[in-house]
Structure 1
Amino acid sequence: MLDKGLGFDEKKIRCHQRFANDILDGMIDWVRVIDKTGTIIYVNKPMREAIGRQLIGTKCYSVLGKGSPCKRCISKTTILTGEIVEKEEKVGEKIFSVKSSPVKDENGEIYAAVEVFRDVTRERKLEKELIRKNEILNEDLRIARSLQSKIFPRKGNYDNINVDYIYKPSEMLSGDMFDVFHIDEEHIGIYISDVVGHGVSASMMTMFVRQTMRAVKDEYKAPAKALSELHKRFLSLDLEDDKYLTIFYGVLNKKDKTLVFANGGHNSLPILIGKDGVQILEAKGYPITYLFNKVDYKERKVKLKSGDKILFYTDGVIEAKDKSGEEFGLKRLINIIKNENENLLPAIENNIDNYNFGKQEDDFALLMVEVL
């Protein structure tokens, strides 16, 4: 009920004041008003009840458990500048985000600051836990990267061929994989593979490719048969439809120096580098994917000579983009091959790094096999 002795305007003012107080007291957040001397002149009900003692007339910093003013007093800054200022404060066991705003009189002069305390304890605990889990995850990824790098073939001589490579993931883990291994006394298996995507799932898939190719090499010496078996085992993983990989697999006969190869959808076709020039090892075939229940691959054969080199690579090489979005392309790669006799792999890497605009977006791998 309004007081009958008050005029209409006074009644409205009292009503509005009570209305404002009801709103402030009904808030979850703590609210207090601090004057120019740092003295508390108003506290809402949630803050009064939480602190449990008289606050009006006390210094603002005493509520925070401090014996002297804060080094960064946001209410003082607000009163001096009129700016809205924020910081975090710990009160007891809780953490609050505190926002200070100016309070003006009827003349527009700032005479106090209102501070709103929002409890962010739960959020900060979650952030701390997230940081801790990220640190554990990063350490796991570091170990996984170290393990992944250790499964690549050793560099150097494999009987009458020499192997060299550069492996450069765009993230901590890569979806690119290549391998060189003995099949028997006469044959050496060589493949390069590119799993869709990056990161943990792609790197796990590379482990599957490596394990499978080494498991089937004795039973399926022909590249086409080996890729069909890889596809069959891939289907048994029962992954999502958007998971797939490409692979180019060749078997080198060390005695007659022939390379029989098949292509499982790998669009970065290897390049044969010989005394007579360069030759693309053309071969078509479907990727290892869930789109097909059964896939048969075709084989091709090429005769090699001593001194010949074969460059295997993934699409991160030819699909590197400059600032205009133009891809590096096969033509530029072939030009480097024609103009660089020594240190070919580092030359390609340097050209890709210089061509790339911004962050490297895709993994890339370069594998060089030379017939001795």
Structure 2
Amino acid sequence: MNEQLNEAPCGYFTLSEEDAILSVNQTLLSILGYNLDQLNGQPINFILSASAILFHQLYLVPLIKLENHIEEIYISLKSVDDEEIPVLLNAVRRERDGRTLIECVVIPMRKRNELENELLIAKKEAVTALNARNKAYSDLENAHETMKVQKDKLIELNKKNEKYKVDTEREMDLAKKIQETLLPVPIINEHVEIQAYYKGSNQLSGDLYGFYQIDAQRYGLILLDVMGHGLSSALITMSLQSIFQRLIIKGSEVKTVMKELDDHLHSLFKNTSETGHYCTAVYLLIDTDKREINYINAGHPSVLLQDMNGKQYQMRSNRPPLGMFEDMSFKTNTLTYNKGSKLCLYTDGVEEPLGSDRLCSLLKTYSAAPLSTLKEEIIQSLRNKEDTDPRKDDQSLILVNLK
């Protein structure tokens, strides 16, 4: 990289077709707080905020493949200290030296955002003060009598609300218990050991998982995270559970399972004006005779695979989340594993507090330990993180020992 570009008053970096960082100028390294060795070869997700990762996968990647450039896209980068840095992104896709590169320029927006926010706040305060003064003059004479009437109504309404709150909490607790009964028990035999961990938020969960032994050598594992929390998300997860359990136990192909789940989500809201729900999902079909894994990852956090020598692989998302686009096609990916490999599947409620690097480190550190020990170490790490950074998301984790 020449000196002018390296010291340019804006960030500059290049990506491979597979979203790996190939080069970074000194300006962007200074903004993010990294050195060149820390970023070279890393996936672009390494410097994207959580929201920007999803935006990148669902919007930026398809757009640049379609139009070969993007202009003035507002996203957030993540510094070495986990600070979110708002930037404007311009990018162009071009062929150079026989390979496809994506050149990106970013301009930090922090000062502009601060100034715009200050102006908006000042304007809002001025309008609020003026409206309050005018309203105070017009309402003062009638306020006392109105307050007396409203007080009586409020007392009666509070009684009804309290009863409704008690009844609703009782019903929600029952629904939460019913939802948790859908979760499977561990599988332990001569071929595999499968254990799981689940901790719901205070609300009904949008997370759901299942793992089933199909026949003597095949096992199906699925993990879903429906958008949002509460009753609507919980009802959707339970309707999806009845579908994937039937299909997996029947031994359906991976793409068939994901296609039917996707079609079901679209059908739920087809004849209504309600906004549809989407969910991230990953399904693995394991054949212990062939030592082969067929999988599809639809917008879900990467699945970690570690072989007996400690080498790690990531089964990254290769499709958008289910329920997002109609008539979407699904392509099954396949990889092989050796004896003694381990799998780690998780939702973002586990990934966000710990980070994928921490999960990879724990998987490697406890590669020779029993699966139960690895699970307890991950759970303890989550508890330690909650002590300093309380979170309200559901946490789901599946660990597999491929014997």
Sort the TM-score into its range (normalised by shorter chain).
Answer: 0.5 to 0.7
Question: How far is the alpha carbon of 1:219 from its aligned partner?
Answer: 6.2
Question: How far is the alpha carbon of 1:149 from its aligned partner?
Answer: 1.0
Aligned to 1:301: 334
The answer as to 2:192 corresponding to 1:161 is yes
Partners in 2 of 1:185 and 1:348 — Cα distance? 30
Contact 1:263-1:297 at 8 Å conserved across structures: no
Aligned to 1:208: 239
- In angstroms, what is the RMSD of aligned CA positions? 2.7
Contact 1:171-1:199 at 8 Å conserved across structures: no
Contact 2:299-2:320 at 8 Å conserved across structures: yes
Which structure 1 segments of 5+ residues have no match? 1-22, 30-96, 98-116, 321-327
Contact 2:305-2:313 at 8 Å conserved across structures: yes
The answer as to 2:375 corresponding to 1:345 is yes
Query: Which residue identity lines up with residue 330 of structure 1 in the other structure?
Result: S
The answer as to 2:345 corresponding to 1:312 is yes
The answer as to 2:224 corresponding to 1:190 is no
Question: How far is the alpha carbon of 1:285 from its aligned partner?
Answer: 1.0
Aligned to 1:53: none
Question: How far is the alpha carbon of 1:256 from its aligned partner?
Answer: 2.1
State which of 300, 303, 307 in structure 2 corresponds to 1:270.
303
- Cα deviation, 1:79-108, whole Å, max 9, x if unaligned, reads xxxxxxxxxxxxxxxxxx9xxxxxxxxxxx
Contact 2:187-2:194 at 8 Å conserved across structures: yes
Q: Which runs of 4+ in 1 moved over 6 A?
A: none
Paired residues for 1:116-135 under 5 Å? 120-135=151-166
The answer as to 2:396 corresponding to 1:365 is yes
More helix by share: 2
Question: How far is the alpha carbon of 1:250 from its aligned partner?
Answer: 0.9
- What TM-score comes out, normalization by structure 2 length? 0.58
Query: Which residue identity lines up with residue 152 of structure 2 in the other structure?
Result: T
Partners in 2 of 1:136 and 1:158 — Cα distance? 44
Aligned to 1:246: 280
Question: How far is the alpha carbon of 1:159 from its aligned partner?
Answer: 6.2
* 1:135 partner SS: helix
Paired residues for 1:222-237 under 5 Å? 222-237=253-268
Is the alpha carbon distance of 1:119 and 1:223 closer, same or farther for their aligned partners in structure 2, counting shifts above 3 Å? Answer: closer
* 2:268 partner SS: coil
The answer as to 2:295 corresponding to 1:261 is yes
Contact 2:299-2:318 at 8 Å conserved across structures: yes
Question: How far is the alpha carbon of 1:354 from its aligned partner?
Answer: 2.0
Query: Which residue identity lines up with residue 176 of structure 1 in the other structure?
Result: D
Partners in 2 of 1:282 and 1:173 — Cα distance? 28
Partners in 2 of 1:207 and 1:298 — Cα distance? 25
- Cα deviation, 1:50-75, whole Å, max 9, x if unaligned, reads xxxxxxxxxxxxxxxxxxxxxxxxxx
Query: Which residue identity lines up with residue 331 of structure 1 in the other structure?
Result: D
Which structure 2 segments of 5+ residues have no match? 1-139
Partners in 2 of 1:220 and 1:241 — Cα distance? 32
- Cα deviation, 1:111-140, whole Å, max 9, x if unaligned, reads xxxxxx777332112111111111111111
Aligned to 1:12: none
Partners in 1 of 2:144 and 2:359 — Cα distance? 66
Question: How far is the alpha carbon of 1:150 from its aligned partner?
Answer: 0.8
Which has more radius of gyration?
1
Aligned to 2:94: none
State which of 144, 156, 176 in structure 2 corresponds to 1:145.
176
Question: How far is the alpha carbon of 1:144 from its aligned partner?
Answer: 0.9
Partners in 2 of 1:329 and 1:119 — Cα distance? 51
Q: How many residues align?
A: 255
